[in-house]
């Protein structure tokens, strides 16, 4: 798995520095480097972005205001040359706040914090589902894939299966970024994928088809 990133900064040299820092980290993929928040908006909405490096003081629209208005909020590391914006940045639950010029050692510390937080969230995330006449706690890390069967969905777990009445589309909105809808009838946990082709993904030797409508997004995510 690679974390997908976007850089937003009106200063070209500042963008290039972060690009160079990111290029040293194999787990991170730069999707776009934008000179304004407005240019980045469509990219963030159309892609599953994990992390934004976002300058605060920019013309037209401040980075903090832009982030507040995002419907889907990736994790954010704010970047700025002004210390006075630190409080505002952390009030938005930023992963970190980097003061320019950004050294690689300080950048790497912020990256480690992001990865550590992401791993903790992945270990702890769960929800309750109504199955077998009771509310059952399901840890996200235990889900292999989710299957739609008419008006019901079946959750395939490491050592169990749960079936209950629910819409697959609605259930998908309750999951986090590790889950990917690959077909109108299937959602998969990308952490569990062991292989994939243009036609299917494989989990525990089970081949799950990739629907034509979802193919472009699925392949972009898995590459």
CATH of the domain at 180: 2.40.50.1020
Select from 192, 217, 218, 223 the least CA-distant residue to 205: 192
Q: Do 159 and 89 reside in the same domain of the chain?
A: no
Q: Which two tokens stand for residue 122?
A: 């992945």
What range does the domain containing 204 cover? 126-222
- Does one domain contain both 135 and 108? no
Q: How confident is the model at residue 60 (pLDDT cuts 50, 70, 90)?
A: confident
User: Is residue 89 over pLDDT 80?
Assistant: no
Residue 164: its pLDDT value, please?
94
CA-to-CA distance for 25 and 29, rounded, in angstroms?
9
Co-location of 97 and 143 in the same domain:
no
**Is the CB of residue 55 less than 8 Å from the CB of residue 102?**
no
Q: What is the mean pLDDT of the chain?
A: 91
Please indicate, yes or no, whether residues 25 and 103 belong to a single structural domain of this protein.
yes
Answer yes or no: do 170 and 200 share one domain: yes
- How does residue 48 score in pLDDT terms, banded at 50, 70 and 90? confident
Residue 1: per-residue pLDDT: 66
- Looking at the 3D structure of the chain, how many domains does it have? 2
Whether 188 and 131 map to the same domain: the answer is yes
Among 73, 102, 123, the domain-final residue is 123
Q: Per-residue pLDDT tens for 133-152?
A: 899 999 999 999 999 999 99
Of 103, 123, 143, which closes a domain? 123
Sheet holding 152-157, edge to edge: 161-165, 152-157, 143-149, 186-189, 179-183
Q: 67, 54 in Cβ contact below 8 A?
A: yes
Instruction: Report the predicted TM-score, pTM, of the whole model to 2 decimal places.
Output: 0.68
Q: Which residues contact 198 (CB under 8 A, 6 or more apart)?
A: 210, 215, 219
122-132 per-position pLDDT tens digit: 888 999 999 88
State whether 130 and 101 are in the same domain. no
Is residue 223 pLDDT above 90, yes or no? Answer: no
* Cβ atoms of 34 and 7 closer than 8 Å: yes
CA–CA distances in Å: residue 42 to residues 46, 47, 53, 124: 6, 9, 16, 31
Which of these three, 96, 123, 150, is where a domain ends?
123
């Amino acid at each position: 798995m690679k974390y997908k990133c976007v850089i937003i900064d009106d200063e070209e040299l500042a963008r290039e520095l972060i690009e160079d820092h990111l290029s040293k980290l194999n787990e991170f993929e730069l999707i776009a480097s934008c000179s304004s928040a407005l240019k980045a908006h469509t990219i963030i909405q159309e892609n599953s972005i994990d992390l934004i490096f976002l300058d605060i003081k920019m013309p037209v629209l401040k980075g903090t205001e832009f982030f507040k208005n995002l419907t889907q909020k990736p994790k954010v590391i704010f970047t700025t040359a002004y210390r006075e914006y630190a409080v505002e940045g952390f009030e938005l639950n930023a992963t970190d706040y980097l003061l320019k010029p950004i050294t690689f050692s300080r950048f790497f510390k912020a990256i480690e914090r992001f990865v550590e937080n992401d791993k903790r969230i992945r270990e702890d995330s769960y929800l309750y589902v109504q199955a077998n006449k009771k509310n059952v706690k399901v840890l996200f890390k235990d889900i292999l894939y989710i299957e739609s069967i008419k008006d019901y969905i079946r959750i395939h777990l490491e050592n169990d299966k749960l079936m209950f009445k629910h819409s697959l589309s609605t259930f998908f909105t309750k999951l986090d970024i590790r889950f990917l809808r690959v077909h109108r009838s299937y959602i998969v946990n990308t952490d569990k994928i062991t292989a994939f082709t243009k036609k299917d993904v494989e989990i525990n030797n089970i081949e799950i088809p990739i629907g034509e409508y979802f193919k472009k997004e699925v392949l972009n995510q898995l590459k």
